[in-house]
Amino acid sequence: MPASRKPGRNAGENFLNSKWPKVMLVSAATSLWLLYDITTATEAPRLMLAFLQYSLLACALVALVGAAVMHATDR
């Protein structure tokens, strides 16, 4: 029996108790919100605000990919 699973628990409970699906959900929601905000802007934002938005989007996408990889490798 793998060390990550406790006796008497099924795979669904193990999935819900992991932190990686929660991180994936939050980073995906943040990415979608930022993409929506960037694409529906009616006027160009200031340079620093645009830099901040794209930086936050990059961080959210990196977190999404990292959480997916960590969950897939079951660490």
pLDDT value of position 10: 58
Any domain includes 30: yes
The three state secondary structure string of the chain is CCCCCCCCCCHHHHHHHCCHHHHHHHHHHHHHHHHHHHHCCCCCCCHHHHHHHHHHHHHHHHHHHHHHHHHHHCC
| Per-residue pLDDT at 75 | 55
Number of domains into which the chain is organized: 1
Report pTM.
0.72
Does residue 68 lie within any of the structural domains? yes
The answer to whether residue 10 is domain-embedded is no
Residue 60 has pLDDT above 70, yes or no: yes
- What are the distances in angstroms from CA 69 to CA 9, 23, 24? 23, 12, 10
Instruction: State the residue range of the domain holding 45.
Output: 19-73
